[in-house]
Amino acid sequence: MHPSIRRLAVAVLCALSATLACSVAQEPKPDEETPAQRDARMGWWREARFGMFIHWGVYSVPAGTYDGKQIPGIGEWIMNRGKIPVAEYRRFAKQFNPVKYDPDAWVRLAKEAGMKYLVITSKHHDGFAMFDSKASDWNIVKATPYGRDVLKPLAEACQKHGIKLGFYYSQAQDWNNPGGAAAGGHWDKAQAGDMDEYIRNVAAPQVKEILSNYGKLAILWWDTPVDMTKERVDMLLPLLKLQPGIITNNRLGGGYRGDSDTPEQHIPATGMPGRDWETCMTMNDTWGYKSYDDHWKSTETLLRNLVDIASKGGNYLLNVGPTSEGLIPQPSVERLKEVGKWMKVNGEAIYGTTASPFKQLPWGRCTKKALLVSTKLYLHVFTWPTDGKLLAPGLRSAVEQAYLLADAKGTPLATEATDQGLVVSVPAKAPDSLSSTVVLRLKGDPDIEPVLLTQKEDGTLALPALEAVVHGDTAQYESGGGKDNIGFWLNPNDWVEWQFKATQTGKFDVTAEIASQGTGSFELRLGNQKLKGTAPNTGDYTKFRKVSLGTLEIRESGKASLEVRPVAAGWQPINLKSVTFKPAR
């Protein structure tokens, strides 16, 4: 099924089950909350912007290897991927003895990195509780030589160092407790059982335990809501009342949207306007420890991800996967310390900031902070200008102050208002090769004139999906996982438009990059000219083909707009990556 259609179906089902759930589920929030109450509840989380994810469990013992073979995939899934029988997997617990576990050091590391909260797997899909549980003996106290609850001292360390604590809990997927493997498939009859009973007798009591026994909890992080009907959700949702003010994500299921959306391993190109969101990401390729995964992201990548996410209004939940001895891998420690060094100087440009008012910046990113009568823009410069001139494109506001965040003295930088926008004169050398911050304090709200796309010197005009203005209900810009296109284009009344500044007139050959599983027709409109097009059936919504659409004439210089509109009759969705004009030969 086309992914867009599947998503629509899921959305419809979710909406439907959310409506039905009203009569059953007692969602304590956000229905009963005013927007101001919600803002107050989410306040610390929006301020924080950066948190630590910890995937830790029995899977750190095999650490990616079972029966002498390296098991492909993420480390915490080894039981499932290796189809390890329950009794055999349970033997790994006998070797789980994290004698080097130092929760205080973990929390100090998170704090040193500039993180404000952490979320640890209290129970992952292998069903192993990292806490003392009365609901199942498959827990760290009863099944390991270590014999102690690891969450308790972590909660204490968080409390001591002022770090908010969250628990991850896999509510629907449990490969050890009978009935919990329904969602992920069985491979051992020991897993057989009834999922409702599993939720009633294991998941719900355990959620009650983690919400009751560790003091103030900031976050409950659900995961993989497979087969979570509203009846099952109803067994868990009321428990949240045990922790007033708790923040939950969107992965409980049953139509419950929670407080935050959770893009995983990617950063949405245009953020998620109107929603709180948090990208969770690994530092290498696995969440749970794998002894041979050395595919570490560089500090530069991690740091720029953090900046990128903040510039789109989201949080970054960055993962570490400790070993079975209780150590956070050294490459993670090093990177976190380096990020922390940067945060010491530049943290002001991350914490409590909101999304960039610029659509795109060729040299980096921007974050924003509204003050009483002024606004601070933080220009995060990844590519330092070689000519010492940094252009904030289209910025028309009066500048009260401009300086480098790394300059403790706050030496003023010269600024100049130009046709293109505000130009800041910066020193020849970047203060930080990873990302340097230029602060602009503006009078009032930023006044930014949108910068129009324009033709290249040879007359070529490139109109990429990211720059399109989308009109309608379903069509939207999609990115990540090889996508960079307008997709989800189910409604033939939706249309897209590019505004551009024509500098060269004449006739142009027009092409478009399209992926589709049908041959829907559409129309390009430029002023009163129209051009018909038919999508190629590329067989896959991620396989794009360039199609020639014919010729259009740019008749005069200046502002213009190109529209792409479906032809309603027989419309079949297309994914549109770009439209290009090239001077006709």
Find, among 70, 73, 89, 164, the residue nearest to 127 by Cα: 89
Distance CA 539, CA 28 (A): 45
When asked if residue 261 is in the footprint of ligand FHN (CB under 6 A), the reply is: no
Q: How far is the CB of 280 from ligand FHN (least distance, A)?
A: 5
- According to DSSP, the residues that pair with 393 across neighbouring strands are 421
Size of the site for ligand FHN (CB under 6 A): 8
Question: Which of residues 149, 174, 209, 223 is near ligand FHN by CB under 6 A?
Answer: 223
Question: Which of residues 264, 325, 338, 467 is near ligand FHN by CB under 6 A?
Answer: 264
Q: Which is nearer to ligand FHN, 139 or 171 (CB)?
A: 171
3-class DSSP assignment, residue 118:
strand
When asked if residue 480 is in the footprint of ligand FHN (CB under 6 A), the reply is: no
Distance CA 101, CA 99 (A): 6
| Token couple for 519 | 């041959």
Q: Which is nearer to ligand FHN, 223 or 432 (CB)?
A: 223
Distance CA 308, CA 435 (A): 11
Site mask for ligand FHN (CB under 6 A), range 77-96, x = bound: x-------------------
Q: Which residues of 77-90 are buried (b: 16+ CB within 10 A; e: fewer)?
A: bbbbebebebeebb
Q: How far is the CB of 302 from ligand FHN (least distance, A)?
A: 17
Q: Which is nearer to ligand FHN, 103 or 288 (CB)?
A: 288
Q: Which is nearer to ligand FHN, 280 or 515 (CB)?
A: 280
Using alpha carbons, list the distances in angstroms from residue 316 to 45, 245, 280, 305, 570.
Answer: 11, 21, 6, 8, 42
Nearest 10 degrees: Cα torsion 305, 309, 311, 314: -160
Question: Which of residues 224, 401, 534, 537 is near ligand FHN by CB under 6 A?
Answer: 224
Q: How far is the CB of 175 from ligand FHN (least distance, A)?
A: 11
Q: How far is the CB of 100 from ligand FHN (least distance, A)?
A: 23
Q: How far is the CB of 124 from ligand FHN (least distance, A)?
A: 6
Site mask for ligand FHN (CB under 6 A), range 57-76, x = bound: -----------------x-x
Q: Which residues of 137-172 are buried (b: 16+ CB within 10 A; e: fewer)?
A: ebbbbebbebeebbbebbbbbbeeeebbbbbbbbbb
Footprint on residues 517-536 left by ligand FHN (CB under 6 A): none
Question: Which of residues 45, 138, 214, 287 is near ligand FHN by CB under 6 A?
Answer: 287
Q: In what order do the strands lie in the sheet with 415-418?
A: 389-393, 421-425, 415-418
When asked if residue 316 is in the footprint of ligand FHN (CB under 6 A), the reply is: no
When asked if residue 325 is in the footprint of ligand FHN (CB under 6 A), the reply is: no
CB 21: neighbour CB atoms within 10 A? 21
Q: Which residues contact ligand FHN by CB under 6 A? A: 74, 76-77, 223-224, 264, 280, 287
